[in-house]
Amino acid sequence: MADIDIRTTGRAGRITLTRTKALNALSYDMCMAIDTALRNWREDDSVDLIVMDAEGDKAFCAGGDIAELYETGKNGDYAYGQTFWRDEYRLNALIFEFPKPVVSFLQGFTMGGGVGIGCHGSHRIVGESSQIALPECGIGLVPDVGSSLMLALAPGRVGEYLGMTGHRMGPDDAIFAGFADHFIPMAQWSDLIELLEASGDASLLTTHAQTPPEGVLTGLQTKIDAHFDGERLQDILNSLKGSETDFATAALKLINRGSPLAMACCIEILHRLRTPSLTIQKALEHEFRFTSRAMEHGDFLEGIRAQIIDKDRTPRWRHPDQNVPIVEVSRMLQPMDAKALTF
């Protein structure tokens, strides 16, 4: 396939995203190719580990390919999007639970669907240019592809902050929040991949890990925890609006770009997931409840129109006053019975 290079090199199953002009955006066919390769390598004794990387300097993977999702949704075809998300989420779970090491090298932008394939493996490598983010609320979706698991497990209320604001995490922030494991300067990546291919030994990565440049989340956590611990969207907005600090002003500016319905549901999902029974399946199931309804009953199509199609950056959200009734959050996240996500 022109957009992805899948092969076996030495002891490694190799996946390289090659769709550089589209910032390696993930199409449905690319998802299915990765899924097939992983299932084959899982049973192949000649493959000791998986190495995932991407061509180009700008992005590992800037997200899912949403153009086709938009076109089908505008024509009233919601089934295509539901199939895309269903199969993508199954791939995310497969990576998370894979019995062999999965090593990903995350340069540049890793966002949305890129997080789903790049941040669930056992060894997640970031470098100087890495920027990991979940900007889904800005297009009317909740952070998905299993990212709600990591957001729920992030320190304090950092998960709510990242999900609502779309804050771009550099290497230190990504490691702090649980989206990456090791910072290794990018100049070493090529040689490291050759070592992994030859040895099949992922443990050698730890000897190359370095201390990343200092990020911002650690220093902001006290403020984040103070303002983002509300039960509902309105609680968090009231807390921020009642503060005259630079942090509150900056956070509100980012939040005001997002879909109120998506943000309210993001908060509710994280609260539901913070239990001892948290699993990747539970996270993906809650995400699917929302995304499968997002075209017909949410802000997704309007968010794509404003950000990607018309690019007027003025989405007409369903709740322009940012007051989202609890009943609407419950409706978007209610169980789906026969149509529920299964693994």
Return the active site residues: 64, 113, 136, 144
What is the rounded CA–CA span in Å between residue 12 and residue 267?
39
Asked whether the beta carbons of 124 and 184 are under 8 A apart, the reply is no
Strands 12-17 and 59-61: unpaired
**Burial group, residue 239, by CB count within 10 angstroms (0-12, 13-18, 19+):** middle
Burial class (CB in 10 A: 0-12, 13-18, 19+), 335: exposed
Burial class (CB in 10 A: 0-12, 13-18, 19+), 115: buried
Q: What end-to-end distance do the CA atoms of the chain give, in Å?
A: 26
The DSSP 8-state label assigned to residue 312 in this structure reads -
Which two tokens mark 240?
């921020």
